[in-house]
């Protein structure tokens, strides 16, 4: 998979057993919308078993977590709460205060600063039929 692409929504629709999702910064906003039950069809909850989200932020600009906050709040209100979110940054691209706001809707929130990122890809399990 190309590291510049996010998995298409039809793949997410089939990930009923997905528990951990790792995202790059480049395409996160569409993902947060896709994972938000208030922004999808009422009878579809994408990745209902998702418990852990790992977000790598490595661009040269500040990054706003508003869409992420809306998504975790909406999931919490429908009893599909995320257990863990890890935000990993190079430099302080996300203010720690913004990350700490997630604590009211997520059981464990971690914030890490790292010097550099290894090469890595968005992790997507193989889905039969796609």
- Tokens standing for residue 56: 């790598």
Assign residue 72 a region: left if phi > 0, alpha if psi is -120 to 50, beta otherwise? Answer: alpha
Q: What local confidence, expressed as pLDDT, does residue 73 receive?
A: 94
Instruction: Write down the pTM of the prediction.
Output: 0.73
For CA atoms 97, 102, 108, 114, the dihedral sign is: negative
Q: What local confidence, expressed as pLDDT, does residue 60 receive?
A: 64
- Pairwise CA distance, residues 20 & 73, whole Å: 18
- Pairwise CA distance, residues 18 & 129, whole Å: 16
Closest CA relative to residue 25, chosen from 106, 90, 84, 104: 90
Q: What local confidence, expressed as pLDDT, does residue 66 receive?
A: 83
| Ranges of the chain whose pLDDT falls below 50 | 1-5, 120-125, 127, 129-130
Helix intervals (H) in 1-130: 9-13, 28-34, 66-77, 96-100
């Amino acid at each position: 998979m190309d590291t510049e692409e996010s998995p298409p929504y039809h793949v997410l629709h089939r990930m009923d057993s997905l528990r951990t999702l790792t995202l790059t910064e480049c395409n996160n906003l569409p993902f947060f919308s896709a994972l938000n039950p208030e922004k999808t069809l009422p009878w579809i909850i994408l990745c209902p078993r998702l418990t852990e989200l790992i977000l790598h932020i490595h661009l040269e600009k500040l990054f706003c977590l508003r869409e992420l906050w809306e998504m975790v709040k909406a999931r919490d209100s429908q009893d599909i709460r995320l257990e863990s979110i890890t935000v990993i940054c190079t430099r302080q691209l996300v203010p720690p205060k913004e990350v700490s706001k997630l604590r009211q809707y997520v059981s464990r929130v971690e914030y890490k600063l790292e010097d550099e990122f290894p090469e890595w890809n968005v992790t997507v399990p193989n889905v039969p039929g796609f």
